Structure 1
């Protein structure tokens, strides 16, 4: 597969450091594009659930690939989310082409894009953080069980299934939360006179125009989805936004490209483990 040129790529909810993270698939995707700007819109590293006993080489390779973009002079914006909120104390940190921010306003062909993770709209996050963290552990466990079932289904030649998406689809409150999240983001963006509002957090990729609730105007709402289940990203190229959906068949004939970014200093990955562990300790 030839590398594709992409003006902007937006990725969120990767959850590196958890069993549910699809790091190998994300790495293949990152190797398949030549982006001009990369936006990491929160929950890239899951510091909430981080454990020194689980940091696979594939997760380290994703970090190396992102750093490779920086060394190539490609701007990389890391916007903090709730699972990596410990990084918020370091917001506005700049290192060459790398910036750590809580939110970003970006000029996109003379239009203003307002970009942030979106956990600020989550009532559970604001008032019952312990409950949200407990739910995150349960979600990760569900993903592990789901992966086992999908392995069995694949062995039988049957289609994979998503436990969490089926659960969300059956509960009206989950659907209502997503709709409320999207409408709230749109209303604020219209009020601030932005052309785009780009979020993550809810693991539901989407691109659609949303009208404001109590005011004239509308905004293009975009969500990049996640790299745990839906395996999606937002791409902007030649004036158009689109949702990239990872399809294993598109990468089946391509050997995994090994290069220096994948292999150098992998033995030093423990340094990152120690750093993340310190983040966790500092918050308790």
Structure 2
């Protein structure tokens, strides 16, 4: 597959440190996509799960190394922490290996429009005011992801395409659907208050590009179940990329071994 180049890429909710993270898919995505600027829109590292039990396999290191390598080659990388990697919020303006840390950003597109870029958890009432409920919800989501893994293995053996139980379940619960709609409305209003044309966020694992009362609302999705990213083209238009639809099989081991070379071994 040929490498695609964009003006900007937006990625969020990778949850490295979680057994549900699709780090191998993200590695393959990063290998086939380049950009002048990459925004990491929060929850890249899952500090909540790492506090409960340490889980950091080699492919988590590979993702970090791949992003650092891109930064060294000239890609501007901006890391906007979320609630799961909130420990980085103590370091605004700091550079780590060429990666900038910022609380939020105002991104100007090629056609001159302004987009507020933030993770979005500050507009989640549960995360902000009831942390214990948020942790319980996080545990329930983990259980749904475990069901996902089992179903995916069975469907692969039967030659059936990937289907996300957790995404389906989320959209069957009326409260969850209402929450998504309210979240989108509140985040769009924040963009309006900041005189922006739109907002780009993550947090709720629901990728979409749509207009809300004159504000363009863009959610990057996640790399736990949907494997999605947002790309800005050179004309300022946006594209929602669903990597699972493009690559519906596990990446070959040879590819993973190539990506797992130590930093500086050879260019990726």
* TM beyond 0.5: yes
- In 2, distance between residues paired with 1:27 and 1:141? 25
| 8 Å Cα contact 1:19/1:140 also seen in 2 | no
1:43-81 CA-to-partner distances (Å, cap 9, x unmatched) read: 000000016642111111001000011111111000010
Q: How many equivalent pairs are there?
A: 259
- In 2, distance between residues paired with 1:30 and 1:36? 13
**What is the match of residue 238 of structure 2?**
241
Within a 5 Å distance, the mapping from 1:65-76 to structure 2 comes to 65-76=66-77
- In 2, distance between residues paired with 1:49 and 1:95? 22
Shift of 1:247: 3.1
1:203-258 CA-to-partner distances (Å, cap 9, x unmatched) read: 001111110xxxxxx11110000000111000001221010001365486975165
**What is the match of residue 196 of structure 1?**
198
| 8 Å Cα contact 2:17/2:54 also seen in 1 | no
Within a 5 Å distance, the mapping from 1:135-284 to structure 2 comes to 135-211=137-213, 218-239=214-235, 240-247=237-244, 250=247, 256=255, 258-259=257-258, 262-264=260-262
Unaligned ranges ≥5, structure 1 = 212-217, 266-284
- In 2, distance between residues paired with 1:160 and 1:112? 36
Please report the TM-score for the alignment, with normalisation by the length of structure 1.
Answer: 0.85
Unaligned ranges ≥5, structure 2 = 264-268
1:114-169 CA-to-partner distances (Å, cap 9, x unmatched) read: 10000011110111112212221221232122201220122122343322222222
**What is the match of residue 279 of structure 1?**
none
Please report the TM-score for the alignment, with normalisation by the length of structure 2.
Answer: 0.90
- In 2, distance between residues paired with 1:172 and 1:19? 28
| 8 Å Cα contact 2:12/2:202 also seen in 1 | yes
